[in-house]
Amino acid sequence: MTDSQQSPDKPEIIDVAHVTCGLMPLMQTYLGGTAPGVETVEFRVRQGIEAELWNAFGTGRQWRLSEIRSDLFTDVARFVRVEENDLDPLGLLDF
């Protein structure tokens, strides 16, 4: 099984560690085009951009950044799909 295939216990991992310019729009585009049945997506990113990721992927989207963990020479950012709440579209009640 390759990294681009998803199994129930291992989410899909997209390697974008080489991307330095336009990373956030690339990640948003990929998440927006993800199949409806996929509930978790992970991105392999360069180390040291945790603050940028948390700031860029805050609230109000269909995907929530749930964790950033260290890996060998890179970090892995995990996103989980969330249902949009009509009463709280920005997800402010989660904080």
- Walking along the chain (95 residues) 10 residues at a time, the average pLDDT comes out as 50 90 93 91 95 82 90 94 69 59
The per-residue pLDDT for 9 is 59
Distance from C-alpha of 74 to C-alpha of 71, rounded to nearest angstrom:
5
Q: What is the CATH number of the domain that holds 17?
A: 3.30.110
Domain with 18 in it: 12-83
Residue 90 is assigned to a structural domain of this protein: no
pLDDT value of position 4 = 45
- Dihedral of CA atoms 64, 70, 75, 80 in degrees, nearest 10, equals -20
Tell me whether residue 20 is in a domain.
yes
Give me the pLDDT at residue 93, please.
61
Q: How many domains does the chain have?
A: 1
Entry pTM: 0.76
In a domain, 92, yes or no: no
Flag whether 65 is in a domain: yes
Q: Does 23 fall in a domain?
A: yes
In a domain, 51, yes or no: yes
pLDDT of residue 82: 84
Collect all residues with Cβ–Cβ distance below 8 Å to 24 and sequence separation of at least 6: 52, 56, 57
Question: Are 54 and 44 in contact, with CB atoms under 8 Å apart?
Answer: no
